[in-house]
A and B are shown apart, each in its own frame.
Chain A
């Protein structure tokens, strides 16, 4: 369980990193941030990158700040940065609650938010968060900079819209309305394991009725996404058991379930129904 040979490069500036990436991407070059997914995969020799471009020494990639409309999260920001409030907005409580479900404490001290998104594991809590809240990805390369909407970013299991010479330099998460409600739930067989299904929901309530519902489902399909059918079942309804059950059932019917040895399609739908309903119930607590 030793990785195949590789060369580690340690750029000091973003420009150096992008230049290296441009040069090495075609020769199996990969970005190393927290390494909590990449390094184990390398140990199993499931990935054998010839070059690792280690961005941990680059100043400025650790920004975590808000301009009043969105929270900007730099490529070096660790999961643990969200244990406490990251911004003066209801989003902080959401991120803090979600972060506690990511793996185990030592992993959260090292793994990064942007790294999770670039890795695009279907079960990732941050991918679900980005998809549900409509994050904007800032991809940088020597060719320039571009913005990618979350809905266009995730392309499948561990596959994104990033070109091989692009670094996911920042992610912008829109702030929530002051009266926004959120709820989160995930299912795994052991604490800290990858979620077999997860759901993040946000909505507002006006005149006793739900509006602006966002219902995201993760771990169930090849990428996390919002489930429109479930959101429609919720919008315009009063928050409570009947609407929550209807939305959960709609989500469960709408997904195209991933299957593996411990989760067949039927069971995955069961789990989606359970996590969506529980995320909605959590929004009331």
Chain B
């Protein structure tokens, strides 16, 4: 077996190890935000390394793999940010272990007030 095949396989294996640790983190972490830290982002390096390993294993695919890595790097943070923001705005609490939540102490956004009003109207009826 050629050397680059071994190297590619090892890189992809390291990537899947990070993916596994990400999954473990989703199971172990105490709240939504911490789960997001591991679940969406330990997978950054995991999927990037897996794709890079594939590129090393099959050198003619390397160009496509680099573009895929770029797409992951560009889209991944947007989805995790949107999820975290939605969770915080709908009032998903942080774990008891948390030291601080500065965002909660600030003035709520207009949309949040509208949501609260809608909710309280619903209770009255």
Real complex partners, A and B? no
Name B's A-contacting residues (CB within 8 A). none
Name A's B-contacting residues (CB within 8 A). none
